[in-house]
Amino acid sequence: METTLRGVGVSHGVAIGEVRHMGTAVLEPPAKQIPAEEAEREQGRARQAVEAVAADLIARGNLAGGEAQHVLEAQAMMAQDPELMADVERRIAVGSTAERGVYDAFAAYRALLANAGEYLAGRVADLDDVRNRIVARLLGVPMPGVPDSDEPYVLIARDLAPADTALLDPALVLGFVTEEGGPTSHSAILARALGVPAVVALPGAGELAEGTVIAVDGSTGEIFVEPSAEKRAEMESAAAARKAALSASSGPGTTSDGHKVPLLANVGGPGDVPAAVEAGAEGVGLFRTEFLFLDDSKQAPSEEKQVAAYRAVLEAFPEGRVVVRVLDAGADKPLDFLTPADEPNPALGVRGLRSLLDHPDVLRTQLTALSKAAQGLPVHLEVMAPMVADRADAKAFADACREAGLQAKFGAMVEIPSAALRARSILREVEFLSLGTNDLAQYTFAADRQVGAVSRLQDPWQPALLDLVALSAEAARAEGKSCGVCGEAASDPLLACVLTGLGVTSLSMGAASIPYVRATLAKHTLAQCERAASAARAADSAEEARVAAQGVLSGE
């Protein structure tokens, strides 16, 4: 009998297939004491296992490339953390086996993360995966990972670690469903990059029996268990129609009546550029530069290294627009040379621009490297600061850009509600705004973006969030300046129409979402988008806003 479940749709598309569950490693090794003379040998075993797992994660990252590579390299650094390794060796020295020492040391670090504020707690899944891989290697049991199958299937997991998501084979894994996670978790971001339909934050997903046929709608978040023939035919027909529309869609982003909405790509480094170019991105709306700095948490990369990486991206978009976000460190991306170690709540502490203003040499080097990377290129370079709270922040950033001799437009990200409320004031100091809807939702609703339990408050359809977008866009229009969206909200085709109706002037997203957004925008006039935006803002919940906008755009 067909039943319907609802989670949070995070990656477009339809998947219909049998359920297969994620395999897990033995989580807790036995607790037994070893003689003192065996401690040195066990410490060596632990070090070898850690290095092997780190090497495997880096190799997986190299194979996957793009956003996945940066995530997996960060996991490898987590495995090799010197303080963690020192704790492992201390535990072995007093009698633990290598596997038990690893398990207990990671458990202690896990507790620190879980209690360090919800933002950092969102990295617990990544830490658990690293621990399981090291313990599995020491015990000689299979690594956690996707099941072996010759037939395509829908993958079910409590959560998916980046190492698993990055190397999913779309030919076998039709889609995936997780019990935990949120729309901006690593798994969701990587699913969109892969183009695999995905639904997260579905309580009870693990109770779906192996072999059960389910239909997954990655756009709506709906899961149909044992779907009827009629439901399957309906979903397959809709998927085919969507695919045909995507194939027919090309060129710049525009509404059906010719209103231009540039469609840009979010990239994490040179590895993401080919997919963006192939998708027809008109430039880069968010170039995350953290990937360079996360390679070594002890010191900033040299100016020469930065110049080479930036130029590789800038050269890919001749005469296009490339918007670079300067280093956004802190919170879930701590750097030893930049981030305070004793903050009670890092998400609300010294992160983003605040860190850079405390370390002007790091900011100056990055701005100088960007200036040198752009020399002689016809690219339209724009540089923006993360976590701008007010006009004083915006002025400090603009002053730093001018002092570095940067020939580019200076902008501010709107991620803090105060920046949206005072957008016109901020625009007296900078030339454009870019809305980071992931963090803006997090701070507006006090709902951590990595925690599935509060996923309804992370929904970018929340009317309060749309109000803040509208305020920012209206301020930019009044000042004759631009206001883009580079958060995950822009990757939702229906919401992209609403954002256009709110007055947003460009949309930036993962490359895989660009064709969907382009095709949907091309079906509607600007006036329809404006009416849909008004209807969504008049609603009282995210679901009501989505339904109201859909009704307007479908002519109901």
Q: Which residues are designated catalytic?
A: 186, 486
Q: At 308, list the tokens.
A: 């080479």
Q: At 320, list the tokens.
A: 């296009």
d(CA 375, CA 315): 11
Burial class (CB in 10 A: 0-12, 13-18, 19+), 108: exposed
Q: At 67, list the tokens.
A: 């956003």
d(CA 45, CA 309): 37
Q: For residue 382, what are the β-bridge partners?
A: 323, 409
* Residue 442: C-alpha distances to residues 135, 277, 450 (Å): 34, 31, 9
d(CA 382, CA 459): 28
End-to-end CA distance of the chain: 31
Q: For residue 254, what are the β-bridge partners?
A: 260
- Strands of 364-408 (E only): list them: 380-385
d(CA 523, CA 178): 33
Instruction: Note whether 42 and 92 are within 8 A (CB).
Output: yes
Instruction: Note whether 312 and 284 are within 8 A (CB).
Output: no
Calculate helix-pair angle for 98-114, 124-139, nearest 10 degrees.
Answer: 180
Instruction: Note whether 12 and 218 are within 8 A (CB).
Output: yes
Question: C-alpha angle 62/68/72, rounded to 5°?
Answer: 70
380: closest CA among 320, 317, 309?
320
Calculate helix-pair angle for 493-501, 526-537, nearest 10 degrees.
Answer: 90
Q: At 244, list the tokens.
A: 């045909």
d(CA 191, CA 36): 47
Q: Using the structure block, give the residue that is written with the tokens 């382009």.
A: 518
What sign does the dihedral 45-77-56-190 (CA atoms) show? positive
